[in-house]
């Protein structure tokens, strides 16, 4: 996730771009840059926030009526001045800002290097701008034609804007799988990742479709073609939005937006890492240390909070699929316990922020004891990512809502790929089951879309239980960690006391709490322990508990006993948490909202816990 702003027209471009980038900072804020044309091309880039760029450019020339800008959320290459955008082609002529990932950048880079192209950054973006340059040089093509041909050669996702120093009267932009909006003003045109940088100048916009290329001219005229070079008739829309809302992509809260992003973020976590039809999984970090992982004595997972819940799901996955012994540890406990860890162990650190102090300390301890440290992290270049020997980013994009949602499903996705890959390498899984699981992984985003359509039903149920003072969440097997996660979501944003329990443990204590005032959320999708969970629901109903059951589509028995039912699509059991957690997130969101709580910034919590 990155933010793009570009301007061509009669006004000074720089203030428009800077203001726009600040609005887009939710999309990434590890470095920022601008390229401005004013007879000469000036490119300023800085690690840090847009404010750091502003300070850096304070004493420099920022004149020009055409420019492109970028705020970065690093994917390829750590956040620093060199990796920041815009990137300039080897001959200094073309400049590019990019949001997305060019998956085949490595072979393209090698081919360009053979032809003498040099690179100063670690980014996939610099490969793309040099590819465009090489095509333009070779055939002496117009910028838009060179961009079009280059894009037929890349795989992955992109929203781009390109500026040609030799032809500063136009900007060329394109998109595939990353958003890009064209704003149409009086004798001026804008591009941006969303409409927030544009809205105060014009309400007329065109949302570019996938595989469309737009040419914006200085006189305010524009043209949009498909990647096959056919001219399109653009659909010009009038924006009817308040700036406040569109900063959150049209959602009232970041948390709701992030819940709805999950079909996409799960795709991003899988992108380029697996192919169900060809039957492969490739996690860069894992390949490098394959032997050590495959032959490890034991996997220890260290994490906190929601990330610890992902770790608990991973325990079930690694044990069942790869037949590897796993221990899941609260990082804060592990670090102070003088644990037995050897060089034959692998310690997996799971963290959204990559900055959680306890998790960082736990892996430093494990590192001293000689274990291999593998990081499953969202924030690129964060401390835990840097302190790990190897790892895999979850590519969920910035998670701004303090309650973790899309990071959880991203973590579970990557941990599932890891478990499947090790299972395959250790010969512990049948080919058929391996293929079934991979195929089903690809179906998960679509199934989440379907669950998100139950939002109004879940909102209704939230209204029925919002005044409770306690809640119990029950699940078995893969759904036990989901019960813990559901309870955590509820307590952290709605301040209702909630407990997650393995369903069968209920009769060893918590059953004493059940009466007609106690909502009991039962995650009852399990195939293997289905009859057992039916009995658990009966036990709750026999004590007048109010049952909210999450069941598989078409389920009849529990649905008849429960007070409220939420259906989710069927999937293979190890993948159930990726679906069953979605109603948990929506339920807590609606309850918190109805109770007047600040959903995105719950009291006493912080997004990144850098203290013990």
Interface with ligand F6R by CB under 6 A: which residues? 304-307, 351-353, 356, 359, 403-404, 488, 492, 609
Q: Phi and psi (nearest 5°) for 189? A: -135, 150
Report DSSP state, residue 59: T
* Cis preceding-peptide flag for 86 (omega within 30 of 0): yes
Nearer to ligand F6R (CB atom), residue 36 or residue 384: 384
Is the distance from CB of 237 to CB of 384 less than 8 angstroms? no
Q: Is the dihedral of CA 427, 433, 436, 438 positive or negative?
A: negative
- Report d(CA 250, CA 247) in Å as an integer: 7
Q: What is the rounded CA–CA span in Å between residue 503 and residue 510?
A: 10
Q: For residues 44 and 254, which CB has a smaller minimum distance to ligand F6R in the complex?
A: 254
Give the nearer residue to ligand F6R in terms of CB position, either 304 or 518: 304
Q: What is the CA radius of gyration of the chain?
A: 25
Q: Which of 2, 109, 170, 406 is catalytic?
A: 2
Under the phi-then-psi rule, with left for phi > 0, alpha for psi from -120 to 50, and beta for the rest, what region is 100? left
| Cα–Cα distance for residue pair 535/546, rounded to 1 Å | 15
In the bound state, the residue with its beta carbon closest to ligand F6R is 305
Q: Is 109 or 590 the residue whose CB approaches ligand F6R more closely? A: 590
> Residue 387 CB, nearest distance to ligand F6R (Å)?
13
Largest Cα separation within the chain, whole Å, is 80
Residue 267 known to be catalytic? no
Shorter beta-carbon distance to ligand F6R: residue 67 or 375: 375
What is the closest distance, in whole angstroms, from the C-beta atom of residue 310 to ligand F6R in the complex? Answer: 9
DSSP code, position 177: B
Nearer to ligand F6R by C-beta: 62 or 306? Answer: 306
CB 318 within 8 A of CB 264: no
Q: At what angle do helices 576-594 and 431-452 cross, to 10 degrees?
A: 20
Q: Which of 257, 274, 209 is nearest to 443 (CA)?
A: 274
204 is annotated as an active-site residue: no
Which lies closer to ligand F6R via its Cβ, residue 42 or residue 359?
359
Contacts of 180 (CB under 8 A, 6+ apart): 4, 159, 161, 173, 174, 191, 192, 193, 207, 208
Q: 198 near 151, Cβ under 8 Å?
A: no
The residue among 409 and 536 lying less far from ligand F6R, judged by its C-beta, is 409
* Residue 443 burial (10 A CB sphere; 0-12, 13-18, 19+): middle
The angle that helices 406-425 and 262-270 make with each other, rounded to 10 degrees, is: 30
Euclidean distance between CA atoms 491 and 342, whole angstroms: 37
Say if residues 58 and 18 touch (Cβ distance below 8 Å).
no
Query: Taking the complex as a whole, how short is the minimal distance between the CB of residue 385 and ligand F6R, in angstroms?
Result: 11
> CB-wise, 18 or 304, nearer to ligand F6R?
304
Pair 186, 203: CB distance under 8 Å: no
Q: Which is nearer to ligand F6R, 306 or 413 (CB)?
A: 306
Of 49, 153, 203, 607, the active-site residue reads 607
Tokens of 539: 């036990």
- Separation CA 8–CA 120 (nearest Å): 28
**Count of CB atoms situated within 10 Å of the CB of 605:** 12
Nearer of residues 3 and 305 to ligand F6R, judged by Cβ: 305
CA separation, residue 253 to residues 4, 117, 383 (Å): 22, 45, 28
- Phi then psi dihedrals of residue 226, to 5 deg: -85, 170
Quick check: 86 and 34 in contact, CB under 8 A? yes
Label residue 63 exposed, middle or buried (CB < 10 Å: 0-12, 13-18, 19+). middle
Residues designated as active site? 2, 607
């Amino acid at each position: 996730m990155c933010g793009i702003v570009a301007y061509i027209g009669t006004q000074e471009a720089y203030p428009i771009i800077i203001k726009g980038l600040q609005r887009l900072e939710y999309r990434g804020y590890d470095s920022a840059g601008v390229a401005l044309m004013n007879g000469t091309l000036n490119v300023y880039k800085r690690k840090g926030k847009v404010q750091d760029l502003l300070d850096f450019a304070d004493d420099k020339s920022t004149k020009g009526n055409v420019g492109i800008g970028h705020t970065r959320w690093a994917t390829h290459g750590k956040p620093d001045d060199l990796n920041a955008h815009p990137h300039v082609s080897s001959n200094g002529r073309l400049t590019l800002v990019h949001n997305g990932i060019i998956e085949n950048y490595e072979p393209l880079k090698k081919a360009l290097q053979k032809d003498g192209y040099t690179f100063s950054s670690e980014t996939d973006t610099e490969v793309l701008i040099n590819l465009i340059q090489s095509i333009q040089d070779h055939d002496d093509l117009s910028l838009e034609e060179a961009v079009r041909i280059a894009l037929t050669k890349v795989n992955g996702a992109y929203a781009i804007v390109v500026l040609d120093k030799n032809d500063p009267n136009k900007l060329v932009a394109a998109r595939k799988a990353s958003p890009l909006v064209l704003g149409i003003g009086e004798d001026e045109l804008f591009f941006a990742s969303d409409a927030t940088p544009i809205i105060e100048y014009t309400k007329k916009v065109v949302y570019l479709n996938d595989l469309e290329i737009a040419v914006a001219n200085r006189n305010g005229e524009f043209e949009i073609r498909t990647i096959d070079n056919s001219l399109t008739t653009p659909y010009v829309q009038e924006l009817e939005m308040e700036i406040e809302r569109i900063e959150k992509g049209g959602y009232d809260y970041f948390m709701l937006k992030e819940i709805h992003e999950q079909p996409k973020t799960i795709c991003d976590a899988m992108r380029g890492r697996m192919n169900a039809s060809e039957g492969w999984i490739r996690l860069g970090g894992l390949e490098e240390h394959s032997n050590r992982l495959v032959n490890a004595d034991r996997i220890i997972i260290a994490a906190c909070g929601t990330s610890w819940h992902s770790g608990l799901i991973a325990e079930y996955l690694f044990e069942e699929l790869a037949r590897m012994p796993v221990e899941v540890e609260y990082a804060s406990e592990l670090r102070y316990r003088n644990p037995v860890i050897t060089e034959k162990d692998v310690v997996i650190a799971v963290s959204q922020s990559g900055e959680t102090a306890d998790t960082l300390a736990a892996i430093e301890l494990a590192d001293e004891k000689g274990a291999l440290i593998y990081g499953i992290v969202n924030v690129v270049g964060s401390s835990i990512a840097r302190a790990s020997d190897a790892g895999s980013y979850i590519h969920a994009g910035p998670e701004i809502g303090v309650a973790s949602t899309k990071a959880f499903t991203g973590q579970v996705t990557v941990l599932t790929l890891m478990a499947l890959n090790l299972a395959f390498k250790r010969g512990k899984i049948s080919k058929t089951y391996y293929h079934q699981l991979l195929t089903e992984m690809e179906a998960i985003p679509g199934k989440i879309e379907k669950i998100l359509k139950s939002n109004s039903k879940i909102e209704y149920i939230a209204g029925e239980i919002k005044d409770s003072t306690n809640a119990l969440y029950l699940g078995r097997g893969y759904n036990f960690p989901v019960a813990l996660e559901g309870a955590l979501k509820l307590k952290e944003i709605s301040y209702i006391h909630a407990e997650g329990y393995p369903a069968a443990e209920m009769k060893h204590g918590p059953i004493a709490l059940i009466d007609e005032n106690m909502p009991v959320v039962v995650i009852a999708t399990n195939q293997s322990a289905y009859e057992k969970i039916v009995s658990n629901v009966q036990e709750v109903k026999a004590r007048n508990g109010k049952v909210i059951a999450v069941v598989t589509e078409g389920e009849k028995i529990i649905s008849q006993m429960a007070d409220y039912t939420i259906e989710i699509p069927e999937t293979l059991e190890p993948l159930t948490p990726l679906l069953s957690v979605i109603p948990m997130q929506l339920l807590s969101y609606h309850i918190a909202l109805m109770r007047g709580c600040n959903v995105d910034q719950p009291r006493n919590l912080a997004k990144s816990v850098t203290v013990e």
